[in-house]
Amino acid sequence: MTRYQHLADLLTQRIRQGLYQQGERLPSVRSLSQEHGVSISTVQQAYSLLEERRLVLPQPRSGYFVAPQKAEPPAPRLTRPEQRPVEISQWNETLALLEARKDKAVFPFGGGSPDISHPTLKPLWREIGRVASPQRVEAMFGYDELAGNRELREQIARLMLDGGAQVNSEEIIVTPGCHGALSLAVSALCQPGDIVAMESPSYYGTMQMLRGLGLKVIEIPTDSQTGISVEALELALEQWPIKAVLLVPTCNNPLGFTMPLARKRAVLNLAARFDIALIEDDIYGETAWQYPRPATIKSMDEEGRVLLCSSFSKTVAPGLRVGWIAPGRYYDRVLHRKYIATTSSPPATQTAVATFIREGHYHRHLRRIRQHYQRNYDVLSCKVRSLFPCGICVSRPQGGFMMWVELPEEIDLTRYTAQMQQRRLHLAAGHLFSASEKYRNCLRLNFAAPFDEKCENALRNIGEFFHEVMRKG
């Protein structure tokens, strides 16, 4: 990171924390240059960056001021999904979204990949380069323990402590990604025909998995900043024979919220009252922009009722396909399910990841990407505002690299699937995140990659398309 970026980040943080109020004058270029021991031009570059991010406004001859808040678009409101169990469809559209990955010329706004080009990942690549050395062949390429590599499970147990959960390595099962973990959890708990409660909107991949297993989903209204409505969930639990609740309560995908701790506790209490399992998808938890990371629901679970699912797909790299589950009292059932689906996991990648964590590289990497994604958000949200039609809402994530955009109500993206494909506009359309095909005027954008020209052009094309659609009515 260059000096001016560093300075700009510092000022951004101060503004966010309210140290400088809306409309207040910011320190002069000269005084910042002295305070931080950097050149005048470095401070000027930092201020231009903040201007670009619409956080400050220059006033000729009197310096920079904190930009009025109204420049930020509102966050989306509480969602209003269909509140009855629904069968999920849209498999073909999901498949099309996956297929689009193949086309490397398309900018993957609709994808789920983190930025894996970061130099802080180099120690991992080095470690992977070493797994196949002659003395290690037997250990790295024989059959592994069914629960997963012991060393990795020990490191994961430590990571889980960061989220406040005390779990030992014997209570953890390594899985093929977080999706694999969720699939095991659900098939260990549910039968075809059962109902699962979820946030609305919810990640389409998990919904497709539930559907494939023959389950129904009830979508619960969800606030874009505080998460699932506890009241609505309670009502649903009273009304329907719900088998499990499945949540992404920390750095949610797609909305980006982290539930306040009290609400996490309230949901856990509900699960206890109705004596059902709670599946906590923590895949983005460690990408939280705040430090230390927010506590998991699992950290409050004294009954072994929570099955925590996660992976290194968003924090490190999705192609590792290394995830895990801490299934609490359902351990035996989940281990059996793992055997049924895949038997043991590949030892080599697991060992490399374990070393990467043990040597401290993982936490160093996390610190870096946290800042990186936060910065990308500032830039992208600002660009979205300038390139998209007026009247949009934009989510304010607390971690991760996903942005949820609500377009004006009259736009129904399901009507333009073919056109968008033709123009190679790759985005995750909102209705995929709903079993009842709500959110037709919404979309999810990935901002993991730094905002470069290619990205800007792709975003401009999307923006222009929306303008066109609006014009034609």
Ligand X SMILES: Cc1ncc(COP(=O)(O)O)c(C=O)c1O
Which residues sit at the interface with its own copies, rule CB under 8 A? Answer: 91, 94-95, 98, 101-102, 111-113, 116-117, 121, 124-126, 128-134, 137-138, 140-146, 176-177, 179-180, 183, 205, 208-209, 212-213, 317-321, 336-337, 339-349
Token couple for 332: 């035996």
Q: Which is nearer to its own copies, 12 or 350 (CB)?
A: 350
- Give min distance, CB of 358 to its own copies, in A: 18
d(CA 252, CA 246): 12
The C-alpha angle 66, 67, 68, rounded to 5 degrees, equals: 115
Nearer to ligand X, 203 or 416 (CB): 203
Q: Are 197 and 173 in contact (CB under 8 A)?
A: no
Complex with its own copies: residue 134 or 473, whichever CB lies closer: 134
In the numeric block, the tokens 């333009």 are attached to 416
**How far apart are CB 454 and ligand X at their closest, in Å?**
22
Residue 283 contact among its own copies, ligand X, none, beta carbon within 5 to 8 Å by kind: ligand X
Taking the least distance from each CB to its own copies, the nearer of 138 and 452 is 138
- Burial label, 360 (beta-carbon count in 10 A; 0-12, 13-18, 19+): exposed
Cis before 221 (ω within 30): no
Q: How far apart are CA 270 and CA 264, in angstroms?
A: 10
Rg of the chain, C-alpha, whole Å:
23
Torsion sign, CA atoms 421, 426, 431, 434: positive
Residue number, 121 or 237, with CB nearest to its own copies: 121
Report d(CA 393, CA 73) in Å as an integer: 5
- The neighbour count for residue 433, using CB atoms within 10 Å, is 30
Of 277, 218, 280, residue with least CA distance to 248 = 280
Minimum Å gap between C-beta 210 and ligand X is 12
Residues at the interface with ligand X (CB under 6 A)? 112, 177-179, 203, 205-206, 248, 253, 281, 283, 311, 313, 318, 323, 343
Using DSSP's 3-state secondary structure scheme, residue 442 falls into strand
Residue 349's binding partner, choosing from ligand X, its own copies, none, with beta-carbon cut-off 5 to 8 A by kind? Answer: its own copies
- Minimum Å gap between C-beta 202 and its own copies is 16
Query: Measured from the CB of residue 339, what is the shortest distance to its own copies in angstroms?
Result: 7
- What is each CA distance from 217 to 68, 94, 103, 242, 473, in whole angstroms? 42, 17, 32, 9, 33
**Structure tokens of 113?**
């990949």
Least Cβ distance, residue 314 to ligand X (angstroms): 7
Distance CA 422, CA 416 (A): 10
Residue 73 binds: one of its own copies, ligand X, none (C-beta under 5 to 8 A by kind): none
Q: Which one of its own copies, ligand X, none interacts with residue 341, CB within 5 to 8 A by kind?
A: its own copies
From ligand X, its own copies, none, interface partner of 206 (C-beta below 5 to 8 A by class): ligand X
- Of 189 and 469, nearer to ligand X (C-beta) is 189
Contacted by 134, from its own copies, ligand X, none: CB < 5 to 8 Å by type: its own copies
Q: How far is the CB of 116 from ligand X (least distance, A)?
A: 13
The entry of its own copies, ligand X, none near residue 25 (CB within 5 to 8 angstroms by kind) is none
Residue closer to ligand X, measured from CB, 311 or 376: 311
Q: CB within 8 A of 33, min separation 6: which ones?
A: 39, 40, 42, 43
Phi, psi of 309, rounded to the nearest 5 degrees = -120, 140
Distance CA 436, CA 260 (A): 27
Q: How far is the CB of 415 from ligand X (least distance, A)?
A: 26
Judged by beta carbon distances under 5 to 8 A according to partner kind, the member of its own copies, ligand X, none in contact with residue 258 is none
142 interface partner picked from ligand X, its own copies, none, CB below 5 to 8 A per type: its own copies
**Of 179 and 305, CB closest to ligand X:** 179
Give me the least distance between CB of 353 and ligand X, in Å please.
Answer: 13
